[in-house]
Structure 1
Amino acid sequence: MTLNSGCRAEGKTILVTGASAGIGYFVAEQLAAEGADVALGCRDAAKADLAIQAIRVRVPAARLRSVRLDLADLSSLPATVDALDVERLDAVVLNAGILLSGPERRVNAQGHELMFATNHLGHFALVAHLAPMLAAAAHSRVITVGSFAARSELLDLDDLQSARDYRPKRTYGRSKLAQMLFGFELDRRLRARGADTASIIAHPGGALDSLTPSRPPLFVRTTAQRLRGLPAGVVLHGKHAGAQSIVRAILDTESTGGQLWGPRVFGLRGRPRRETPHAHMTDLEAADRLWAASVALTGVDPLVRPATPLRK
């Protein structure tokens, strides 16, 4: 990927959540290639080690480390931030997420629906705990990784956790919409406070494994997979290409708080460009109610430094 001049990342420390696979892996690889110190936030330490091995094959001088991160367990986040052991953080990429396919509604240790808890609440709380480090870095950024799935969903603010009507794909789409609402609302609140941190939203478009190059020992694309994916390459792209919108949002000096970045061709494939968000992604009333509910559910506020342990 070629960014505008002045967009290299030497000296920057960046945390990428969910960096052991998919989009998150390629974000970490591309940031390492641009010279960043990259922390891979991963639930599985063995997979994180494989990701680091794969990156170093392509970027031998990469500055990498991993921290254990389980966004589904809110009580574990303070320990993750302590393990990060940095005084300042130039950016955090809120990428990790899960999509469940089974019909059973699952909950985390705090009793919250698992997709909403992992994709939204965990990131909401993580930003709260990282706030002092983000504030210590000049022009720091919070990058929320959105999804096409959020375009066709609306939040049920009276049933955020799908307790009354659970449908996996819809619940996933709503959790990603909640993430994006949070990203836009975070920037509004940061601007109102005169903060130097910017919140930017980016999405990878239509990114398929079959169009993604191998990264052994982490991921190997077979010849059969490549051939099956060729027709889709007309309108979609691989995860390495999908990561470019996110990296652009992090490093490009032309990107600013409150923007949405995605692929150029119908938002599905191609080089990054700025997009106009759909109205329901920036709804002020919905965002305000979601923020209040998220504070109540997590026990922390991204704009108020945590003073007490997270709720269990």
Structure 2
Amino acid sequence: MSTASPSRPWNAHRPPSAEGRTFLVTGGNAGIGYFVAEQLAATGAVVVLGSRDTAKADAAAASIRSRVPGARVRHLPLDLADLSSLKTAVDRLEVDRLDAVVHNAGVALDDPPRRETADGHELMFGTNHLGHFALTRWLAPLLSAAEAGRIVTVGSFAARSERLDLDDPQSTRDYRPKRTYGRSKLAQMSFGFALDRRLRAIGSPVRSVVAHPGGALDGLTPSRPQIRVTTRGERLRALPAGLLVQGKEAGARPVVRAVLDPEVAGGDLWGPRVFGLRGAPRREPVPSHMADPDTAARLWTVSSELTGTEPDLGFR
């Protein structure tokens, strides 16, 4: 377990040891997910990179090992856009417990046309939300077997300005990519808060926490040659924005704290300190539209039906 305590302030640059624990990071091969995985690996934990692309996952693992001596990191083939594959993927974890999962992987499209998953769901809603909803069901026994399992859902600042349309959750009538993305992230965050309420109601020790990276730009992100190189030109162009936002390494820190800090409570929202866009991790007030129980209940029903998953998600 973590060694942090109220008498030892949280140090985002030196998180406590997590030796002996196992964490799964979906989409851990790139972006925010990569830096979450890198920072978690530095705590001594076993970090599993959930990714459908073996070559990218191998490159991410090599990058982590080059920066974290002795890092214990491995790849789990995982395709959130293919719901029928998720049980098999979880079986391949070959662990008897899972201390935390970071629901990070996501698709962000900028332009039409509307695309669908193998299951016929709109790609962003289907991957970002439905895939994680269904994955949670198969991970439930492993999370419940841990001493204090955690589900950390990575949301987005983009969700603050959106509202769910549960009469058209998959944007079949009016597809606008940026809005659909924001709504998919809002669905994830609403699910994270609703899941914690349900876990508390049944007395489960598993906590569901939501975190977001704030404003995280590639141009403010340190290079990782096996993953992505930030050019000098990109860094110079991004400097003015650095007054308001940050890079992805810093953006990962609220997520890492949500995974590790024993003072984090179920139902919390964590993000950057300065206007929710940059800075050290802090607990934030939960916007009312993200925690509305009636909307969450409708979303839960829709999600359960679309994924063919029992409503209790396997938590008892």
TM-score category by the smaller chain?
Answer: over 0.9
- The number of residue pairs the alignment matches comes to 306
CA RMSD of aligned residues (A): 1.5
Q: Identity, % of aligned pairs?
A: 65
- Which of these residues, 131, 134, 144, is aligned with residue 135 of structure 1? 144
Specify the alignment match of 1:192 in structure 2: 201
Contact 2:12 2:280 in 1 (8 A): no
- Which of these residues, 246, 262, 276, is aligned with residue 253 of structure 1? 262
Q: What CA distance in whole angstroms lies between the structure 2 residues aligned with 1:266 and 1:301?
A: 38
Q: What CA distance in whole angstroms lies between the structure 2 residues aligned with 1:256 and 1:87?
A: 24
The AA in structure 1 aligned to 2:272 is P
Residues 240-285 of structure 1 deviation map (CA, whole Å, 9 limit, x = unaligned): 0000000001101110100000000000000000000111000100
Contact 2:15 2:43 in 1 (8 A): no
Q: What CA distance in whole angstroms lies between the structure 1 residues aligned with 2:48 and 2:311?
A: 20
Map residues 98-109 of structure 1 onto 2, 5 A cutoff.
98-109=107-118
Q: What CA distance in whole angstroms lies between the structure 1 residues aligned with 2:310 and 2:71?
A: 34
Q: Secondary structure at the match of 1:88?
A: coil
Specify the alignment match of 2:5 in structure 1: none
Specify the alignment match of 1:52 in structure 2: 61
The AA in structure 1 aligned to 2:23 is I
Q: TM-score, normalised by structure 1?
A: 0.96
Specify the alignment match of 1:87 in structure 2: 96
Correspondence 1:298 to 2:287: no
- Which of these residues, 248, 254, 278, is aligned with residue 269 of structure 1? 278
Contact 2:99 2:150 in 1 (8 A): yes
Aligned CA distance change for structure 1 residues 18 and 165 (closer, same or farther; 3 Å)? same
Specify the alignment match of 1:233 in structure 2: 242
Q: What CA distance in whole angstroms lies between the structure 2 residues aligned with 1:189 and 1:206?
A: 30
Correspondence 1:77 to 2:86: yes
Residues 218-254 of structure 1 deviation map (CA, whole Å, 9 limit, x = unaligned): 1111111111111111111000000000000110111
The AA in structure 1 aligned to 2:187 is A
Contact 1:129 1:302 in 2 (8 A): no
- Which of these residues, 14, 23, 34, is aligned with residue 23 of structure 2? 14
Contact 1:38 1:63 in 2 (8 A): yes
Contact 2:12 2:253 in 1 (8 A): no
Correspondence 1:33 to 2:42: yes
Contact 1:3 1:252 in 2 (8 A): no
CA shift, 1:179, in A, is 0.1
The AA in structure 2 aligned to 1:276 is P
- Which of these residues, 159, 162, 169, is aligned with residue 168 of structure 2? 159
Contact 2:121 2:170 in 1 (8 A): yes
Residues 49-103 of structure 1 deviation map (CA, whole Å, 9 limit, x = unaligned): 0001110111021001001111011011011101111110000000000111221
Q: What CA distance in whole angstroms lies between the structure 1 residues aligned with 2:311 and 2:42?
A: 30
Q: TM-score, normalised by structure 2?
A: 0.94
* Structure 1: gaps (5+ residues): 307-312
Q: What CA distance in whole angstroms lies between the structure 2 residues aligned with 1:4 and 1:229?
A: 23
- Which of these residues, 145, 156, 169, is aligned with residue 178 of structure 2? 169
Contact 1:15 1:93 in 2 (8 A): yes
Specify the alignment match of 2:7 in structure 1: none
Q: Secondary structure at the match of 1:151?
A: helix
